[in-house]
């Protein structure tokens, strides 16, 4: 029994040491550039709901976005965003952060696709409809530019579509260890 415990501990150390092996893209291809425009409001969050879950995206003035392709239960969005314990745990979360850029009426943001289980970076290509609404039209792999088949890959079809703005203060702090 004692040896099994040692094997288990050794296995955990192995997994921790090999984390980089599983992450295909080590860096984002985009850079976080401070946003000073007025194409999109950034004093709140953007959301897209289905019956039970919401995709939530938060954009910051420093060119960093929070949310990626993660989801939050509909009834818990603002409670979670206000909860310091919840947001504190996300500062080192690789799949939660990424850079974004806006040029004219086009928003692009980069994120790690963790649901595809291969940790590749992807870029969401969005058309800005007005300062409170944008539409994610497609997702491409950062390195190849190849379009992600959201039906087959982990991104999911629910990620695509129209996102609406909701004013919200205070937003979680954008300090993170992921986007440099």
Residue-number span of the structural domain to which 38 is assigned: 25-167
157-171 pLDDT, tens per residue?
A: 677 899 999 999 988
Q: What is the pLDDT of residue 19?
A: 43
46-96 pLDDT, tens per residue?
A: 999 888 888 899 999 999 999 876 778 887 889 988 988 887 778 888 878
- Tell me the mean pLDDT in the region 98-110: 95
Q: Residue 5: inside a domain, yes or no?
A: no
Q: By three-state DSSP, how is residue 121 classified?
A: strand
Q: Residue 163: inside a domain, yes or no?
A: yes
Rounded-to-integer distance, Cα 71 and Cα 56, Å: 7
Q: Residue 8: inside a domain, yes or no?
A: no
Task: Give the mean pLDDT of the chain.
Answer: 80
pLDDT band at 18 (very low <50, low <70, confident <90, very high): very low
Number of structural domains found in the chain: 1
Instruction: Note every long-range contact of 18-25, with CB atoms under 8 Å and residues 24 or more positions apart, other chains counting.
Output: 22/118, 22/119, 23/94, 23/112, 23/119, 24/118, 24/119, 24/120, 25/112, 25/119, 25/120, 25/121, 25/142, 25/143
111-142 pLDDT, tens per residue?
A: 887 555 567 888 999 999 999 999 999 988 88
* CA distance from start to end of the chain: 45
Q: What is the pLDDT of residue 54?
A: 86
Q: Residue 19: inside a domain, yes or no?
A: no
Q: Residue 13: inside a domain, yes or no?
A: no
Q: Residue 73: inside a domain, yes or no?
A: yes
Read off the pTM: 0.81
Q: What is the pLDDT of residue 22?
A: 43
Q: Residue 47: inside a domain, yes or no?
A: yes
150 close to 156: Cβ distance less than 8 angstroms: yes
Q: Residue 179: inside a domain, yes or no?
A: no
Q: What is the pLDDT of residue 10?
A: 37
């Amino acid at each position: 029994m004692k040896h099994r415990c040692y094997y288990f501990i050794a296995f955990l150390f192995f997994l921790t040491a090999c984390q980089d092996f599983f992450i295909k893209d080590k860096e984002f291809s985009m850079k976080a550039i401070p946003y000073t425009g007025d194409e999109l409001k950034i004093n709140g969050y953007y959301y897209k709901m289905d019956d039970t879950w919401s995709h939530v995206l938060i954009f910051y003035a420093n060119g960093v976005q929070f949310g990626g392709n993660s989801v939050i239960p509909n009834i818990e969005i603002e409670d979670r965003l206000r909860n310091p314990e919840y947001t504190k745990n996300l500062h080192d979360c690789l799949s939660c952060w990424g850079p974004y850029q806006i040029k004219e009426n086009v928003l692009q943001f980069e994120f790690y696709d963790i649901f595809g289980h291969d940790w590749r970076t992807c870029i969401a290509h969005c058309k800005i409809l007005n300062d409170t609404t944008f539409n994610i039209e497609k997702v491409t792999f950062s390195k190849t530019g190849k379009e992600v088949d959201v039906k087959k890959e982990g991104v999911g079809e629910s990620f695509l579509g129209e996102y609406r703005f909701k004013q919200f203060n205070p937003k979680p702090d954008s300090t993170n260890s992921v986007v440099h």
